[in-house]
Every structure is written in C-alpha cells, then in structure tokens.
Amino acid sequence: MAQAETHYTLPSPQFDKPTKLLIMVAPYYKDIADQLVAGAKSAIIAAGASFDLIEVPGALEVPTGIRLAVNSDKYDGFVALGCVIRGETTHYDTVCNDSSRALQMMGLSGICIGNGILTVETRDQAVARAEAEGQNKGGGAADAAMHLILLARKFSRQTSGIGFKPSSEFIQIAAKD
C-alpha cells in the first residue's frame, strides 16, 4: 500500500528569473487528468514559474508532443501528464513502456521532463494518485521538471577549466602568442 509509506521529497524549487514550462496532458480519463493538471499548475505557480497547457489524444502522443515543442525553444522544461489503466489486453504494456521510454530518452538527451503519466491497475489507484490534495502526482511531476531545470542551469554555468579547449579557442590563444 503506497498510502501507508512515507517518502522524502525535496523542497519545492523556487525561481528568481523567468522560467516557463509546458504541461502536455493526455485527457483520456478527463477527471483524473484534470486533477493532475491542477497539481502541476499549483506547483509551477508556487515556484514562481509560468506555463502553457496543451492536450494530446493519449499517453503515446505525450512524448511526441513534447519533442515537437522542444524545437520551439519557448520552454525551459516539460511536464508529461496522463493516465493508463490496465485493461484486458496487452495494449496497456505497450502504452506504459513506450511512453515512459520515450520520455526517458528525451530526459537523457538533456531535456528537463517530469513524468506524471500514471500507470495503474485500477481507477481507484489512479484517483488516489491524481488528487491534487492527495498524492498529487501532477505536482510531483512539475516539481521534478523544475528541479531538473535548476540542475541544468547550475551545470551550464560551471566551468572548471579541465578538459580540451575548442579549436576556435586554441586558435585565438595561439594567435596571441
């Protein structure tokens, strides 16, 4: 029972410069999606960031929608939301595995994504996880994306002077000598 467990969560991120996220949601189960979105919106606003919201048909389309939005350079990070409830066929496994794998691959390429696509056995499990006043998995996904944004900003500013210099830098140094 997940409800009986206690989990440590990092403090919510805070931004002191403009930060914009895109919430990409599959509203297949509209009531559940609405709760996930409410939690994500609340977390983003509390952090001092802004957001846009786009709906796509299903969980498999969420990664594609995010990948298309990455090309716009309008967003610092992304929140993937939706719900997949096990049915009678293996389609559940395909949707869960493929959507998760696609989001993970984008994350590994440096895109800041919080994955809030619920993968559950029953509607009751989905409702418990989605409720903004409950487990708030939408808010958790938004917080995850925002923590990654802060981490990306931290590492993009750091230079240690270790490693190879780009050839253009080497040519400038050689020209001075």
* Catalytically active residues, by annotation: 91
**Paired tokens of 151:** 């981490």
List 84's β-bridge partners, or say none.
119
Q: Is 18 left (phi over 0), alpha (psi -120 to 50) or beta?
A: beta
C-alpha–C-alpha distance, residues 27 and 82, integer Å: 6
C-alpha–C-alpha distance, residues 60 and 74, integer Å: 22
**Paired tokens of 147:** 């923590």
C-alpha–C-alpha distance, residues 142 and 33, integer Å: 14
Chain centroid to Cα 81, Å, comes to 8
Contact (Cβ atoms closer than 8 angstroms) between residue 23 and residue 76: no
C-alpha–C-alpha distance, residues 3 and 171, integer Å: 60
